[in-house]
Structure 1
Amino acid sequence: MSEQENVTSNTIQYEDQVDDSVYKRDQKSKWTRTRTGDRIESEAKRTRKELGAERRKKEYEDGNSMNFVLTSCRSNYVAPLDERGNPIKSDRRPKRKCAVMIGYCGTGYNGMQLQNDPAIPTIERDLYDAFGKAGAISQENAVDIKKSGFMRAARTDKGVHAAGNVVSLKLIIEDPDIIAKINAELPDQIRVWGIQRTTKGFDCRKLCSSRIYEYLLPTYSLLPPKNGTVLSDLLKEKRAESPDLFHDDPEGTQWWEQTYQKVLDAGITQEQLDSIANVLEPDSESATPVVFEDGEITEFGKLVKQVKAIENESRRSFKTSTHRLDQFRNAMKQYEGTHNFHNFTIGKHFKDPSASRYMKSTTVSDPFVIEGTEWVSIKIHGQSFMLHQIRKMIAMATMVVRIGCPVTIIQDFFGNKKINIPKAPALGLLLENPVYEAYNQTLQKMDYDPIDFTKYDDEMEAFKMKYIYDKIYAEEHKENVFYGFFGYIDTFKSNTDDERPDGTSVFDFLKNYTSVKSNEPVKEQTSEQ
């Protein structure tokens, strides 16, 4: 082999050989240099930051500093800026996981839970805003409710009150007057009762053992439907077919007869009463107008108002009997224990495991009179509740007493058949308080005080009387809310095929009651059963 060929053979490069010269390159090699795209993105980010700082500085100098507001929470916090226009962070102060015990009147609020729309008033929006103003939350965290790990023990719907509820979050509580400062920033209808230290992993919703709700009901709601209404005519028909399947109601019959006589004594004739009946028909096209086009009330409208005024006055003077009250107590007892409440909420199927709920107890107080109207207080102690569940439970128990059928019919609503149950007015509903039986034992082992509302009984009772009970009584007296609800039920005409494609209405279910229960005679029940 020639010398030239030998040199050539020694310099042959194969595909699987590595070029050692690559490793001798400096940090500007193609493997380590900054990509063009990364450099452009970084420059753009730096430019946006500089422009933002200049804009904030200009707005600050003009007196229009940025208000750091997120859709998740309204805040009045305005960040102070340094000479470059960047926000100055507040001093870091220790935060502690806490349970905050609160009470509120839900009138004027769109429920407890915060909404994305800042124009919608909610309890949480005002509460979290007060935390920030009082210094219980840092200014940076005051703009977002999620930053503090906020959670509520129980949601309440629009207009629903709470004598006691619990929210859990991280708070700055080193100030001994922090509760007073928070309350000073809150409207009078929202109060903080106490703040209790908890473990770091405390979640007031998940660790809540049970909840107690109260519902205030005027006893006239237990009266039978008015003669001539759709429901009254249906009951007459079914009683005639199967008289043994319904309870007699001489008390209710006598009350309506006396009320009818009061109307006649006021100079109103039977012919006029018959004409008024047309007004009560929701779909009546021949009803005489009660107001003119200009809004002025007609003579016929004045007659309607006179009859309603007499009936309303008679309702307010109604005092229920012990027997009727015992029937209602027995109806409420049907809910105790574990049942499938899929018919007592919305959007739940019978096979959905989450529809099964455990009710620990139900109690109905003795009647009490407020400004001439007799009321009862119903307390429901349950492990957990679904949307509208309590209002539907109250409506169903009340309706069973009104129509005079056995209270055990409520058990049929736990079955797999879909039945649409109306929900009683939100006016009478309030959350009494959440209960933390199991978790309080953990707190006591760590030398923490339990989450207990009993030490605030005096303040809570005074608050309930002024901001909850009195508002309920006053609104019912002014608006006749419960009569409006049950009066609508009595005149309701259901059409299962057109209006309720997802199930039968409660009225259609009752139409079939006589055929289903024909072999089950009614048994008298007492409160001891």
Structure 2
Amino acid sequence: MSTMESGRPDWPWKKAKKVAMMLSFSGKKYLGMQRNQGCSTVEEELLKALRDSGAIPPEWYDNASKSFFQRASRTDKGVSAAKMVVSLKMLNEDGTRDKINAKLPSDIRVQDVKRVTKNFNSKNSCDARTYLYMLPTLAFAPIDSISDESYHITSDVKIKVNATLKLFEGSHYFHNYTSGKLPMEPSSLRFITDFEMQEPFERDGIEFAIIKVKGQSFMLNQIRKMIGMVIAVVKGYASEPVIEESWGVQRIDIPRAPGLGLLLEEVHYERYNYKFGKDGLHDDLKWESVKDEVEKFKEDFIFSEIVDTEREEKSMITWMGNLLLHKFEPRHFEKDMKQFTPIEKAKALLKYDKKESNEKEIDDDS
């Protein structure tokens, strides 16, 4: 019988309480956030640190559901996060955060831990998510201009980029921006609140910009494909009306921008904060007290890594070399499907998407 089942009064974790833990991490060395047996993941490192620091009992490490462990969002291979949130039951005493960080690798930091209501769930209580995508501005250089690291974006191009990004705001069917979804499938309907490019800046002789997107939730590859479409339109490879067509019944060929540069900036708990943030018993989940620590981590472990990797591997320039292969029109196999019944067409589409998804699993780093 385990110590938990025996009900011994000296069981050290009987004072464990539900908390929201906010952490920052660089995803370069990890195969995503979610725990996966035999793989290097952020959750595996976190749960080991929680166990070794005494924040959770050993049996909760083996079965995280006993601690009601829940992540706010799954990040894929290589994707970093500035303010990821997990919820769980744990001991949260003075010095607990420092003890956990002492057991973590330097590219994962617990920034703050706050007491929450017993029914709080970091995923289900989340209202929205904000992602950032950092890229060299040469990605937006017109076709007839020089697209090398000396490029600096003009005011006219900046205006065009933001105008194109704004087209994605609101509710749309994003079946063309992921895999395994049929045209107009209800589960592909997503709501984008804000989509904008911030002012460019220079690092190591290369001009970069950060694109910020906020929405209720995002599907696999959705953000990277939205960025890919915007780049294609701004550069002149695709026309603006193609964006609206991509939300319709046609299956449009859309390029997927490089995974380098994508990071989860924040998960939002606006409803929770409104209801419980000022009740005198719980703190809001805005993390203002550790803002400077988060920004420092982003500079030291995330942005610097993006700059170094882009300079060495030139992933955006390489990716742009393949833009000519995309036609931004209905996929070739649909042109020959007019004789199919609706059911046959649906089966063919799902078969194609399954094949495409399996192929992408080999190199998918979003």
| 1:186-265 correspondence to structure 2 within 5 Å | 186-224=104-142, 252-253=143-144, 255-256=145-146
SS in 1 for 2:321: helix
8 Å contact kept, 1:433–1:453: no
Counting aligned pairs with the same residue, the percent is: 37
Q: How many residues align?
A: 330
8 Å contact kept, 2:131–2:212: yes
8 Å contact kept, 1:95–1:170: yes
In 2 relative to 1, CA 493–353 (structure 1 residues): closer, same or farther, beyond 3 Å?
A: closer
Structure whose residues are more often helix by fraction: 1
In structure 2, the partner of 1:496 is 332
In structure 2, the partner of 1:392 is 225
Q: CA deviation at 1:440?
A: 0.8
Amino acid aligned to 1:352: E
1:123 correspondence with 2:42: yes
Q: CA deviation at 1:93?
A: 2.5
Cα RMSD of the aligned pairs, angstroms, is 2.5
In structure 2, the partner of 1:94 is 15
Amino acid aligned to 1:345: T
Q: CA deviation at 1:455?
A: 2.3
Aligned counterparts of 2:333 and 2:181: Cα–Cα separation in 1: 21
Aligned counterparts of 2:156 and 2:237: Cα–Cα separation in 1: 12
Deviation string, structure 1 residues 54-95 (Cα, Å, up to 9, x no partner): xxxxxxxxxxxxxxxxxxxxxxxxx9xxxxxxxxx9544211
Amino acid aligned to 2:290: Y
Aligned counterparts of 2:301 and 2:321: Cα–Cα separation in 1: 28
SS in 2 for 1:419: coil
Match of 2:253 among 420, 433, 453: 420
User: TM-score, normalization: structure 1?
Assistant: 0.59
SS in 2 for 1:315: coil
Match of 2:75 among 139, 153, 156: 156
Amino acid aligned to 1:327: K
Aligned counterparts of 1:147 and 1:160: Cα–Cα separation in 2: 27
In 2 relative to 1, CA 479–405 (structure 1 residues): closer, same or farther, beyond 3 Å?
A: closer
Match of 1:182 among 100, 104, 107: 100
Q: CA deviation at 1:191?
A: 0.6
In structure 2, the partner of 1:519 is none
8 Å contact kept, 2:232–2:323: no
In structure 2, the partner of 1:487 is 321
Aligned counterparts of 1:169 and 1:473: Cα–Cα separation in 2: 35
Aligned counterparts of 1:444 and 1:458: Cα–Cα separation in 2: 21
SS in 2 for 1:420: coil
Aligned counterparts of 2:184 and 2:207: Cα–Cα separation in 1: 41
8 Å contact kept, 1:337–1:358: yes
Match of 2:28 among 96, 107, 113: 107
Aligned counterparts of 2:11 and 2:180: Cα–Cα separation in 1: 46
Q: CA deviation at 1:408?
A: 4.0
SS in 2 for 1:191: strand
In structure 2, the partner of 1:136 is 55
Q: CA deviation at 1:124?
A: 0.5
Aligned counterparts of 1:211 and 1:378: Cα–Cα separation in 2: 14
Aligned counterparts of 2:105 and 2:250: Cα–Cα separation in 1: 46
8 Å contact kept, 2:197–2:212: yes
In structure 1, the partner of 2:362 is none
Q: CA deviation at 1:342?
A: 1.1
Aligned counterparts of 2:140 and 2:184: Cα–Cα separation in 1: 33
8 Å contact kept, 1:331–1:408: no
8 Å contact kept, 1:165–1:434: yes
User: TM-score, normalization: structure 2?
Assistant: 0.84
In structure 2, the partner of 1:328 is 161
Q: Which runs of 4+ in 1 moved over 6 A?
A: 492-495
8 Å contact kept, 1:167–1:204: yes
